[in-house]
Amino acid sequence: MPVPYYYLDLNAENACVYHNDGGTLAEAVLTEGDGEHGRSVWQLTEHKAQVILDRTHFEGLHACRQTTTVVNQSQVPLTVDSLSSLFVPDIGMQGERRWYDHRFILHHAYACWQGEAQWHHDPIEDLGLYATYNHNHQASVRFSSVGSWTTAQQYPMIMLEDTEKGETWYFEIESGSGWYIEVNARGYQDNSGLCVLLSATHEKNDGWYVTLAPGESVKTVPAVYGCVQGGFEEAVAELNAYKRRTFLTAFPGGVVPVCFNDYMNCLWAQPSRARLEPLIQAAGEVGAEIFCIDAGWFGVQNGWFIHNGDWKPYDELFGEGGLSGIIKDIEKAGMRPGIWLEIETVDIRSDFAKAHPDCLLTRHGHPIGQPQCFMDFRRGEVREHLMAVFDRLYDMGVRYIKNDYNHSTGLAIDAPAGASGAAALLLHTEAFTDFVDEVIRRHPGLMIENCGSGAMRCGHGTLSHFHIQSTSDQEYYDRYPSIVQGMLACMPPERAGIWSYPYPLDFHLRTEQAEMYPLTHPEIQKRAESGWETAFNMVNAMMGCIYLSGRICYADERNKALISTAIRLYKQQRKDLMSAHPVYPTGTTLIQQDGWTSLGLLNQVAGKLLLATWRIRDNTPSCTFDLTRYLPVGAHVTEAYPGLDGFRYELSRGQLTITLPEEESNAAAWFVISF
């Protein structure tokens, strides 16, 4: 595997740390390490600065994690405006075919709100990477993000599959703000290969730069890379294993919990005791272990967002005992209480913002995003105020926090002299995750979910500090399978919170049925009659962390049994799920695609394949899935869900044939296959 190394583009004012294209390190001397393993230190003789590369290798994995640090050892300021976390050259230099001869496939994921993790698998030629041949190659493919929503358009990970050698390179940058990945070619004529640059500190992406005073240093965010035999599935498995090694959190009790949250297709941020009580009872009865009250519990009714940042309960909503009383009711139902926060944002009209205007992030001297502004986590007043909020909620019995993040700062924030707005934003995001780490250390047994209008900020650099990641705000269950498939390529399944919302109250009906009791809308009742809508919802969520919602208190006996059975089966398998990796018998699916598709969670040690199959907006009665590359001879189905009328299946010699009722255009099934 080629060693990541660099070239240093130097002049009288700036040190721009780039990649090495051979022989250009004459002005730098390797003074420590071998340039390949552990730490290596380059001394820049002319500028009296050090470049330190720190690498971590992981036993049993090909993954290498690297950071780069520049230290100014001179007596004058040194400006750094382009610093790469990682650069890997010379990919595809060997082989019968050149890199540009239909040899490489680039796997990458697009994203947007309610349409996260849409994977594409493109020949590099189709993306605009081609040989210009002489005087070095100039074409490149770039992926990037600016601001604090790091995954709002693209996920910061790519894979390069070498179809000739049967191996796949993977790369990911772990940034909480802007990031940049570039794939290009380096070399002359036929003596060239592909190279990949990963950076969160690059001037041409978001204007990043810092000026280091004598003795000061700057360090990049981590980036990881590796190469595995195989293709997309094998690279995903390796990245899942790497991320499990580098998470900073663990689940209290050792297993991923079953959660109920009252927001999605349910209360829509309109909680009250009357509305919560039947949901608490129903969630406890079907086997939920956490009950999370979402937005609307604070401030004043129908204007709670004005008090975002103060986090004072609106006790009148909850009757006798106020919020503390409803938290005790959740505990009595056998569940751990949870609450929604959005700790990074604050309304300009809130008490905190009025008292501490200097604690808000600004751009051009004005608070960003009015009226919903942003707390500055570099300020002690912010951390002290919010820690007190966590202390109060924890003392009340709250053991789960859904931390939302519904806005992005945009390109940059105001910065002190000698640094860019992008550099200041990166420091702010690092201060925020440091605060999260401190909250978890201080409150034993507390879990914190990362949400960002779904998954607008779900890269490993942020998620590794949390317990669970919301995968989407997608409100329509038949649009969710492609998101589930895609998100499990980005994170381990046990970290992926997946909504399931039987008996949904659609968003556009929430005002019409503001009281929501009794259930009156005939369309919702009719859709639930056969049970297949409930089963489809549960199959979605059984492939990750079940995040149950919907007005399940209205479920009839058939649908209540479908929910309870799914949760029971899930609990039986979740320990094996937590060490499984995703496989794609039918490939990945885009959100607009109809027809049959599938997703598996393979655990070779346990000898199990957990398989979800979906028929989406289609009435083709049967489909056969080829599972021979995952299953040995003798594999057999030990559990099958949902067991409704019209559901049949047969597994023979690794071929699973499923039949679903033709009248159900959306239907799904889930299997445990043992071997």
Residue 663: count of CB within 10 angstroms of its CB: 10
Phi/psi at 347 (nearest 5 deg)?
-75, 135
Q: Provide CB contacts within 8 A for 494, sequence distance 6+.
A: 251, 256, 544, 545, 574, 577, 578
Give the Cα separation of 169 and 406 in Å (integer): 33
Structure tokens, 93: 């230099």
Residue 591: per-residue pLDDT? 98
Give kind and range of the element (H or E) at residue 426: helix 421-442
Low-confidence spans in the chain with pLDDT less than 70:
1-27, 301-302, 511-521
Quick check: 555 and 519 in contact, CB under 8 A? no
- 655-659 and 581-583 strand pairing: unpaired
- 496-500 and 545-548 strand pairing: parallel
Give the Cα separation of 675 and 663 in Å (integer): 34
Q: Could you give the angle at the alpha carbon of 77 between the alpha carbons of 76 and 80, nearest 5°?
A: 140
DSSP string, 331-387: HHTT-EEEEEE-TTEEETTSHHHHH-GGGB-EETTEETTTTEEEB-TTSHHHHHHHH
**Which three-class secondary structure state does DSSP give residue 206?**
helix
Structure tokens, 545: 């962390």
Residue 319: per-residue pLDDT? 93
Longest Cα–Cα distance of the chain, Å, equals: 79
DSSP string, 439-487: HHHHSTT-EEEE-BTTBTT--HHHHTTSSEEE------GGGSHHHHHHH
Residue 632: per-residue pLDDT? 97
Give the Cα separation of 108 and 110 in Å (integer): 7
Phi/psi at 464 (nearest 5 deg)?
-60, -15
Structure tokens, 633: 């001879």
CA 635 to the chain's CA centroid: 33
In this structure, what DSSP letter does residue 237 have?
A: H
Structure tokens, 232: 């997309």
Residue 594: per-residue pLDDT? 97
**Which three-class secondary structure state does DSSP give residue 291?**
strand
CATH number of 595-674: 2.60.40.1170
Residue 463: count of CB within 10 angstroms of its CB: 26
Tell me the domain boundaries of the chain: 1-246, 595-674
Nearest CA to 667 out of 626, 633, 616, 612 is that of 616
Residue 302: per-residue pLDDT? 64
Structure tokens, 211: 């000026």
Residue 8: per-residue pLDDT? 45
The pTM for the full model equals: 0.95
Quick check: 298 and 304 in contact, CB under 8 A? yes
Quick check: 525 and 500 in contact, CB under 8 A? no
Nearest CA to 200 out of 221, 172, 224, 225 is that of 221
Span 349-395, pLDDT tens digits: 999 999 999 999 999 999 999 999 999 999 999 999 999 999 999 99
Give the Cα separation of 501 and 440 in Å (integer): 29
Give kind and range of the element (H or E) at residue 40: strand 39-44
Q: Which amino acid, residue 58? A: F
CATH number of 1-246: 2.70.98.60
Residue 339: count of CB within 10 angstroms of its CB: 21
Quick check: 237 and 581 in contact, CB under 8 A? yes
**Which three-class secondary structure state does DSSP give residue 14?**
strand
Structure tokens, 526: 């009719």
In this structure, what DSSP letter does residue 219 have?
A: E
- For residue 371, whether the previous peptide bond is cis, meaning omega lies within 30 degrees of 0, is yes
Give kind and range of the element (H or E) at residue 572: helix 557-577
Tell me how far CA of residue 11 lies from CA of 41, 80, 201, 307, 365, in angstroms. Answer: 20, 11, 19, 52, 33
Residue 512: per-residue pLDDT? 60
Residue 211: count of CB within 10 angstroms of its CB: 19
